[in-house]
């Protein structure tokens, strides 16, 4: 059975701090790894990673994938109170063909940023 484990489960920091969120996975048919931010509603897409060692960046957020060691990290620099949310890691199953496969999510990391 596919498994995605995130750590830490919760994290409390002050504005300006840098945080690193971890995601490890065990899946039978890996196709991609995704990071989402969730604030009380549906998950909001952050990154999609398919290749090892290639960092993806968006503003203060960045992420990288290691397919050999089966993990990914999400970094947030200069955190702000608006970064407070649940961060979800998910792995896409290789369903074959040209369509996207189902996602297996981790339990999430609850990030709280204090002013």
Partner 1 sequence: DTGVSQDPRHKITKRGQNVTFRCDPISEHNRLYWYRQTLGQGPEFLTYFQNEAQLEKSRLLSDRFSAERPKGSFSTLEIQRTEQGDSAMYLCASSWAREETGGSLNYGYTFGSGTRLTVV
User: Of the two residues 17 and 67, which places its CB atom closer to partner 1 in the complex?
Assistant: 67
Among 43, 72, 76, 79, binds partner 1 (CB under 8 A): 43
Check if the beta carbon of residue 2 is closer than 8 Å to that of residue 103: no
Q: Which one of 13-21, 64-72, 77-85, 104-112 is the stretch in contact with partner 1 (CB under 8 A)?
A: 104-112
CA distances (Å), origin 56, targets 63, 69, 73, 75: 5, 18, 11, 10
Q: Which one of 14-22, 66-74, 75-83, 99-107 is the stretch in contact with partner 1 (CB under 8 A)?
A: 99-107
Check if the beta carbon of residue 4 is closer than 8 Å to that of residue 30: no
User: Of the two residues 81 and 107, which places its CB atom closer to partner 1 in the complex?
Assistant: 107
Q: Which one of 12-20, 44-52, 62-70, 77-85 is the stretch in contact with partner 1 (CB under 8 A)?
A: 44-52
Among 12, 14, 39, 45, binds partner 1 (CB under 8 A): 45
Q: Which of 18, 7, 23, 6 is nearest to 71 (CA)?
A: 23
Q: Which residues contact 25 (CB under 8 A, 6 or more apart)?
A: 2, 3, 4, 5, 33, 70, 71, 72, 89, 91, 104, 106
The residues that touch partner 1, with contacts defined as CB under 8 A, are 4, 6, 32, 34, 41-43, 45, 48, 50, 88, 90, 95, 98-100, 102-108
């Amino acid at each position: 059975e596919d498994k995605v484990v995130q750590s830490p489960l919760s994290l409390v920091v002050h504005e300006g701090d840098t945080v690193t969120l971890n995601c490890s996975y065990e899946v039978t048919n890996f196709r991609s790894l995704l990071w989402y931010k969730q604030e009380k509603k549906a998950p909001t897409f952050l990154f999609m990673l398919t290749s090892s060692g290639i960092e993806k960046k968006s503003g203060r957020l960045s992420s990288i994938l290691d397919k050999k060691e089966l993990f990914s990290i999400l970094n947030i620099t200069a955190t702000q109170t608006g970064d407070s949310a649940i961060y979800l890691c998910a792995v896409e199953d290789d369903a074959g063909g040209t369509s996207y496969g189902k996602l297996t999510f981790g339990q999430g990391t609850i990030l709280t940023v204090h002013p």
